[in-house]
C-alpha cells in the first residue's frame, strides 16, 4: 500500500494539474475486477436458473446488482472521487445523473400511462363527460 | 495588479476582463473536457435506454426476448468486455512505470478482447436477422438494434482509437501527449463497460424475466 502512495506522490509532483489519476493501483484494479465478476455472475445465475420465483422481485434484485456494479466501476476503474479535477467531474456527473433520471422515469411514466389509456376497446366514448 | 501600475491614459479606459492570463500546462484541462464529453455520451445512451424502455414490449406479434436471446452467449460477451477493462487497467499501470513494450502488449490484449466482444455481438445480430428478427420487424427489435448497435459502434471506434494510439506510442514512445491520449481512451473504454452493465441488465436479463 505504501508503494502505491509513493508512485502517486511522485506523479503529483510531475504534474500538479493532472490530479485524479494518481489513484490507479494494481490493488485497486484487481479489487474492482473481482467485485465486478461477482456482481455480474450473481444476476446472470439468478436469471438463468430462475432462483427467485417472483419475476418482479428478481428484476429488482438484478437492478440493484447493476447499480452497485456501476458504482464499483466508477470508483475502481474510472477513479471517480470528490476531489478529481477539483470536484468538477463529480459535479458534471451529478448533473448528468439528474438528467438521466428525469429522461428515464419521465419517458417510462408518461408513455406507460399513454399506452394504457390509448388501448383500443378499453374506453367507451359515450361514457366520457 | 497591473492596473495600479498602468499609466493615466490606460486608466481612462476601464477593462472588464483579466488581462494577464495565468499559465495552464498544455492539456491540463483535457481530462475534465473528456469527462464532460463522456457525460454527454451518457445522455445519448440514456435516451436510447428510454426508447427501449418504452418500445421494448411492442413485439407486433413477432419474437420476444425469450425467443431470441441466448444468455450464455451474453455472459461470454460480458466476460470479454470485463477482461478488456482489466487489461486496459494493466496497460495504464505499465504506462505509469514507463514500460513501453509492456504497455503495447496490454493494449494489444485489450484490443483482442474488444474484437472478441464485437465478433460475438455481430454473430448474435446475424443469427437474429437470419431468423427474421430484423430491426424492421417490431418496435422492440428497432429499439434493441439501435441501443445495442450504438454501444457496439462505440466499441468499434474505441478499437480504431486503440490501434491509432498503439501506432503513436510505437513511433513516439510514452511522451506526455500520448499518456494523455491513453488516459482519455482509458476513460472511454471503462465508460463503455459501464454502459454495457446497463445493457445486459436492462435488455438481456430483464428481457428474459418478462
pLDDT digits 0-9 by tens, B107-152: 999 999 999 999 999 999 999 999 999 999 999 999 999 999 999 9
Closest CA to B38 of B145, B183, B147: B183
Q: What is the pLDDT of residue B132?
A: 92
Residue B19 binned pLDDT confidence (cut-offs 50, 70, 90): confident
Q: What is the pLDDT of residue A129?
A: 58
Phi-psi region of B86 (alpha: psi -120 to 50; beta: other; left: phi over 0): alpha
Lowest mean pLDDT among B16-30, B33-47, B52-66, B176-190: B16-30
Q: What is the pLDDT of residue B39?
A: 95
Residue A57 in contact with residue A116, Cβ under 8 Å?
Answer: no
pLDDT in tens, A44-61: 999 999 888 899 999 999
Q: Count of CB contacts below 8 A, A vs B? A: 127
Crossing angle for the helix pair B30-55 and B139-172, to the nearest 10 degrees: 160
Whole-number Å distance between alpha carbons of A78 and A61 = 25
Question: Exposed, middle or buried, B58 (CB in 10 Å: 0-12/13-18/19+)?
Answer: middle
- For the beta carbon of residue B85, count every other beta carbon within 10 angstroms: 26
**Subunit contact A103:B46, Cβ cutoff 8 A:** yes
Q: How far apart are the first and last CA of chain A?
A: 72
Percent of chain A with pLDDT over 90: 52
Q: What is the mean pLDDT of residues B90-98?
A: 95
Whole-number Å distance between alpha carbons of B131 and B68 = 9
> A123 to chain B nearest CA, in Å?
21
pLDDT of A106 over the 50 cut: yes
Q: What is the pLDDT of residue B159?
A: 97
* CATH architecture under which domain B31-209 falls: Up-down Bundle (1.20)
**Subunit contact B190:A73, Cβ cutoff 8 A:** yes
Among the partner-chain residues A29, A32, A47, the one whose CB lies closest to the CB of B205 is A47
Q: What are phi and psi of B4, to 5 degrees?
A: -65, -40
Q: What is the pLDDT of residue A119?
A: 65
Identify the residue among B86, B98, B178 best suited for mutation to test binding to A, counting A beta carbons within 10 A and taking the highest. B86
- B46–chain A Cβ distance below 8 A for any pair: yes
pLDDT of B1 over the 60 cut: no
**Subunit contact B42:A100, Cβ cutoff 8 A:** yes
Per-chain mean pLDDT for chain A: 80
List of residues 6+ apart from B139 with CB closer than 8 A: B55, B58, B59, B60
List of residues 6+ apart from A72 with CB closer than 8 A: A32, A35, A36, A39
Q: What is the mean pLDDT of residues A79-91?
A: 85
Among the partner-chain residues B50, B96, B205, the one whose CB lies closest to the CB of A104 is B50
- A45–chain B Cβ distance below 8 A for any pair: no
- Please, which residues 55-94 of chain B have a Cβ atom closer than 8 Å to chain A? 71-72, 74-75, 78-79, 82, 85-86, 89-90, 92-93
Residue that is written with C-alpha cell 450473481 in the block: A42
Among the partner-chain residues B75, B78, B201, the one whose CB lies closest to the CB of A63 is B201
Report the predicted TM-score, pTM, of the whole model to 2 decimal places: 0.83
DSSP state of B201: I
Residue A7 in contact with residue A43, Cβ under 8 Å?
Answer: no
Q: What ranges do the domains of chain A cover?
A: 1-81, 83-119
Amino acid at each position: 500500500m505504501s508503494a502505491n502512495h509513493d508512485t502517486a506522490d511522485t506523479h503529483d509532483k510531475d504534474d500538479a494539474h493532472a490530479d485524479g489519476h494518481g489513484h490507479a493501483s494494481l490493488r485497486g484494479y484487481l479489487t474492482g475486477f473481482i467485485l465486478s465478476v461477482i456482481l455480474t455472475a450473481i444476476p446472470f445465475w439468478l436469471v438463468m436458473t430462475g432462483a427467485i420465483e417472483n419475476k418482479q422481485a428478481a428484476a429488482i434484485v438484478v437492478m440493484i446488482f447493476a447499480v452497485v456494479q456501476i458504482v464499483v466501476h466508477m470508483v475502481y476503474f474510472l477513479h471517480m472521487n470528490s476531489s478529481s479535477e477539483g470536484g468538477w467531474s463529480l459535479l458534471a456527473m451529478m448533473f448528468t445523473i439528474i438528467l438521466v433520471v428525469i429522461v428515464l422515469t419521465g419517458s417510462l411514466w408518461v408513455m406507460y400511462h399513454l399506452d394504457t389509456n390509448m388501448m383500443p376497446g378499453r374506453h367507451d366514448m359515450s361514457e366520457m363527460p | 495588479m497591473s492596473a495600479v501600475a498602468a499609466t493615466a491614459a490606460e486608466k481612462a479606459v476601464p477593462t472588464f476582463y483579466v488581462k494577464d492570463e495565468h499559465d495552464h500546462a498544455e492539456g491540463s484541462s483535457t481530462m475534465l473536457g473528456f469527462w464532460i464529453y463522456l457525460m454527454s455520451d451518457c445522455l445519448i445512451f440514456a435516451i436510447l435506454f428510454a426508447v427501449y424502455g418504452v418500445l421494448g414490449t411492442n413485439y407486433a406479434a413477432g419474437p420476444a426476448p425469450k425467443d431470441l436471446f441466448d444468455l450464455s452467449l451474453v455472459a461470454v460477451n460480458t466476460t470479454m468486455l470485463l477482461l478488456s477493462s482489466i487489461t486496459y487497467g494493466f496497460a495504464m499501470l505499465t504506462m505509469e512505470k514507463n514500460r513501453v513494450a509492456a504497455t503495447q502488449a496490454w493494449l494489444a490484449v485489450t484490443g483482442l478482447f474488444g474484437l472478441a466482444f464485437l465478433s460475438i455481438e455481430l454473430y448474435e445480430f446475424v443469427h437474429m436477422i437470419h431468423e427474421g428478427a430484423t430491426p424492421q420487424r417490431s418496435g422492440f427489435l428497432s429499439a434493441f438494434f439501435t441501443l445495442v448497435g450504438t454501444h457496439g459502434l462505440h466499441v468499434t471506434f474505441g478499437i480504431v482509437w486503440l490501434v491509432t494510439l498503439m501506432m503513436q506510442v510505437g513511433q513516439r514512445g510514452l511522451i506526455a501527449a500520448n499518456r494523455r491520449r491513453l488516459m482519455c481512451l482509458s476513460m472511454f473504454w471503462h465508460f463503455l463497460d459501464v454502459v454495457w452493465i446497463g445493457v445486459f441488465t436492462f435488455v438481456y436479463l430483464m428481457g428474459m424475466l418478462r
